[in-house]
Chains A and B, each alone.
Chain A
């Protein structure tokens, strides 16, 4: 290990200046991260940002061009098997065998960890139970739903109690209920001391789970910090008001303009105004009072936290291309972006 690393000996993941190109595509151009033991690190970025590439490099599935990294103290290039022995990986696409049953998949993993027969059986049953797969345990996993397959995949990566867990977009494609369950499981693992590196396209998810977030785009780090720091970089809350009669939009805006911290935005055709504000929940109270006094009917009002769109708009000056990338996220314009219940959120 190089001297550079010594300062971080205690960290679960240390990566220095990792670069990777596919021909002329620079998937990663110099990414460095440090993840202390027991923490959750959120890697946030739009499609093609390089998230999967970084995860595959750190989990020894892919060779990097330059830079160096250690995972749980083991160098990924010179000691890949030691890395593999300590990590768990749930990739972006399920790494299960469709012809094997859920139980057989788990047994296979157990055997490949060279565990004892009884221990394998016991652990498999335990994981099937934990991930609510007991009923489906003995049918081929190709008959599983997408969510079940992801759960099986996660169970397989947890088989040997990994010290460091890599989750590449673990909740993409899950229904809200399964997502919350998965978040819960991740939190439990972290409480037990597991270090987690998780990639996501949803700021909200990173916000919810991660101690630290890194935003990458085009293979470069564009921001890093705690969720709070990041959000303050992006800007504060946005007050969104949807008036019932579109022709009231301008009058409404004039009434609440003083709540704005930056230039407000209006979409006349929809009767929508969005006002970046620093007033927090107070902005809602104030807006409701003023508009009510002026007899302007409000169809909807919400204080929303910055979304991934805002992050990218602010940090990169371009938005991710919404339709392909973020089915649950924004897409429809600012008003509909709240999605997952962060209306009135004041966290």
Chain B
């Protein structure tokens, strides 16, 4: 089979399975609703409860918080990839996919792509609520959209990490716990909610060098009109690095699971 046709088939496989994944959300809209309510609640609580106490260089806390909380939101959203994958693997439909002449890794690609689509929807709503509570784009819409694009790519990269976790555990419950537990320290020890400078120095060493801080800083700089180049480069390097490691890893462990 020639390579163009092969590629065409792979793309159509990915789209077909992505569509299948998305249909599930239209049948179970509560899945989307609850995964949106939680980050919105976070945003409101941080803005109104902690906002006054947290000193940031930006004018209002929401201007600081929104870019960060978008990163947190896609991160948590991405962790759903592994859970959904573990769920699919435990169901009969996976046998159907495996007995069809498809590009087998399309199942993984479709899953991560589905979560990108879901993340787009969720960050759109988050931004909307952000506007209601006082967030403003200060530095041009294009910069802001560029920021969102970085956020989505960041989510996509973490989806592959999550896929690896989902593939390496035996059941959905384990995927749930294993997928989230390690994200919490990363999220809080970062510049998402507070400036890293306010942390004890030993923690700063760690917090300054995570992909989360890099991404949050890049998006924040882009929305606030600060020089963003360094942060954006750092974030993109992280994203490509993670993808380069975790895509092959996920594909290998998917193929290994056979049986």
Q: Is A89 an interface residue (CB 8 A)?
A: yes
Selected A-B contacts with CB under 8 Å, 17 pairs: A61-B99, A62-B258, A63-B259, A82-B101, A84-B100, A87-B99, A93-B92, A93-B95, A94-B92, A95-B94, A96-B92, A96-B93, A99-B23, A99-B27, A99-B28, A104-B23, A112-B17
Q: Is B98 an interface residue (CB 8 A)?
A: yes
Nearest first, the 10 A-B pairs at minimum CB distance are A95-B96, A111-B16, A85-B101, A95-B92, A84-B101, A62-B259, A89-B99, A99-B24, A95-B95, A97-B93
Instruction: Give the interface size class of chain B.
Output: 20 to 34
CB-CB nearest in chain A for B102: A112
State which of B28, B95, B100, B259 has its C-beta within 8 Å of the C-beta of A91: B95
Give the secondary structure class of B's interface.
helix
Interface residues of A (CB under 8 A from B): 56, 59-63, 81-82, 84-85, 87, 89, 91, 93-100, 104, 108-109, 111-114, 140, 156-157
Contact call A96/B96, Cβ cutoff below 8 A: yes
Q: How far is the CB of B210 from chain A (nearest CB, A)?
A: 36
CB-CB nearest in chain A for B93: A97
Measured in the bound complex, the distance between the Cα atoms of B95 and A93 in whole Å is 10
Measured in the bound complex, the distance between the Cα atoms of B94 and A98 in whole Å is 12
Interface residues of B (CB under 8 A from A): 9, 12-13, 16-17, 19-20, 23-24, 27-28, 91-102, 258-259
Measured in the bound complex, the distance between the Cα atoms of B95 and A173 in whole Å is 20
CB-CB nearest in chain B for A61: B98
CB-CB nearest in chain A for B20: A108
Measured in the bound complex, the distance between the Cα atoms of B9 and A46 in whole Å is 41
Given A62-B258, A97-B20, A99-B27, A114:B12 Cβ within 8 A:
yes
Q: Which residues of B contact A63 (CB under 8 A)?
A: 258-259
Q: Which residues of B contact A81 (CB under 8 A)?
A: 101
CB-CB nearest in chain B for A159: B100
Measured in the bound complex, the distance between the Cα atoms of B101 and A82 in whole Å is 7
State which of A61, A99, A100, A140 has its C-beta within 8 Å of the C-beta of B95: A61
